[in-house]
Amino acid sequence: MKNVMIRIQNVRKVYQIGSEKVVALDRINTEISKGEICCIFGTSGSGKSTLLNQISGMEKPTEGNVWIGNVNITKLKEEQIAAFRQKHIGFIFQTYNLLPYMTALENTALPLMFQGYGRGEREKRAASLLKKVGLAERMYHYPSQMSGGQQQRVGIARAFAANPEVIFADEPTGNLDTKTTAQIMEMMMEIARKKNQTIVLVTHDPQMAAYADRILTLIDGNIIKEQRREERE
């Protein structure tokens, strides 16, 4: 039996815009296994980022439930979900979201500070990850001193720093060229495969979606197609 990491049950999200109700997600049901690379694929406005927000606990669904492991995150209070994310979840953002006054090393080590690691251990682990992503020479550089591709490598190192069970990646290479996109995606996949970590990737780019074990295609808040790697090859 497969080891389910994320279970999405009957998730519906409705936004009130003025006097109108807009259905962004219409009763989504699916499961994502531990160690699976799952892509939520769709055009702008399809509901993919909204779905990511429900799965990661950034928003609560109007109806339905989301489990990560054996925890129903939909039932957690705000401070509980924040603590849960710090312990179990990593994020990679399209806009990098690095703190400008911190070096690459300090940005990467930040999640470990929230977990109570001492400075020496934090910096040791952060330095090891930055070497893995090819930034050994850039550890003490600030974001303004790095290219977009280098900043995204820091973002990846930071996301993996605390060994989270799940990584959420929202258009992680949207600001990068084709060659750098391939390097970044291969790097993410390699790290996740080694540690059997689950990645939920949101994108509109078929090149990025091709890296996934399974692609869930969304249109108008509904999963209209599910495609596994073996079906695409």
Close Cβ partners of 46 (under 8 Å, ≥ 6 residues apart)? 218, 219, 220, 221
Residue 74: strand, helix, or coil: helix
- pLDDT at 8 > cutoff 60: yes
User: pLDDT per residue over 169-226, tens digit each?
Assistant: 998 887 778 888 888 888 889 889 999 999 999 999 988 899 999 999 999 999 999 9
| pLDDT at residue 1 in the model | 41
Summary mean pLDDT of the chain: 91
| pLDDT at residue 233 in the model | 65
* Alpha-helical regions (H) of 142-228: 148-160, 178-195, 206-209
**Would you place residue 133 in the very low, low, confident or very high pLDDT band (cuts 50, 70, 90)?**
confident
Displacement of CA 233 from its chain's centroid (Å): 25
What percentage of the chain reaches a pLDDT higher than 70? 98
| pLDDT at residue 10 in the model | 96
Closest CA to 159 of 92, 104, 112, 82: 92
Contacts 24+ apart (CB under 8 A), 180-187: 180/148, 180/149, 180/152, 181/205, 181/207, 181/208, 182/207, 183/149, 184/149, 184/152, 184/153, 184/156, 185/211, 186/211, 187/132, 187/133, 187/134, 187/153, 187/156
Distance CA 154, CA 131 (A): 10
User: pLDDT per residue over 54-73, tens digit each?
Assistant: 999 999 999 999 999 999 99
